[in-house]
Amino acid sequence: MKQKIKNEAEHEEHKTSDSFIFTILSHGNKGIIYARDGARGTPRVAATANQPEIPEKPPTGCLDIEKDILQQFDGAKSPNLFTKPKIFFIQACQGRKYNLYL
C-alpha cells in the first residue's frame, strides 16, 4: 500500500488537476492504519512532561498516518500537487474506546 500511495503522489495527471482528495477506510490504532488483514500495531509513545510524543515505527502491514500518507503529498514528494488544495478523509479507529458523539 505504501508504494500505491507513493505512485499516486507522483502521478503525472495531477499537473492538470485543480485539487486532490484522498480517502481511506480501515481499522487502526493511535496514529497508524492497518493496511492489510491481520495487521496489528503499537500506538505512538505517549508524551511526557519532558518529552513530546514520539512515533514508533509502525509494524509490518501498518501505515503511519503522518509519515506514510500525509508527508507523501508535500511539495517535495508530490510536485504536481504543489500549491493545490488537498483533502484527506481517514476513517480508522484510533484505539479501543467507543465513539460517544456523532
Q: Do 61 and 70 form a contact (C-beta atoms < 8 A)? A: no
Query: Band of the pLDDT at 41, cuts 50, 70, 90?
Result: low
Which residue of the set 11, 14, 27, 62 is catalytic?
Answer: 27
How many CB atoms lie under 10 A from the CB of residue 85? 9
Residue 52 lies in a domain: yes
Query: Band of the pLDDT at 27, cuts 50, 70, 90?
Result: confident
- Whether pLDDT at 12 is above 90: yes
Residue 102 lies in a domain: no
Q: Which among 78, 92, 82 has a CA at the least distance from the CA of 8?
A: 78
Q: Residue 90, SS3?
A: strand
Q: What pLDDT sits at residue 81?
A: 95
Count of the separate structural domains present in the chain: 1
Residue 100 lies in a domain: no
Residue 98 lies in a domain: no
Is 62 catalytic? The answer is no
Residue 67 lies in a domain: yes
Is 27 catalytic? The answer is yes
Which residue of the set 11, 14, 62, 93 is catalytic?
Answer: 93
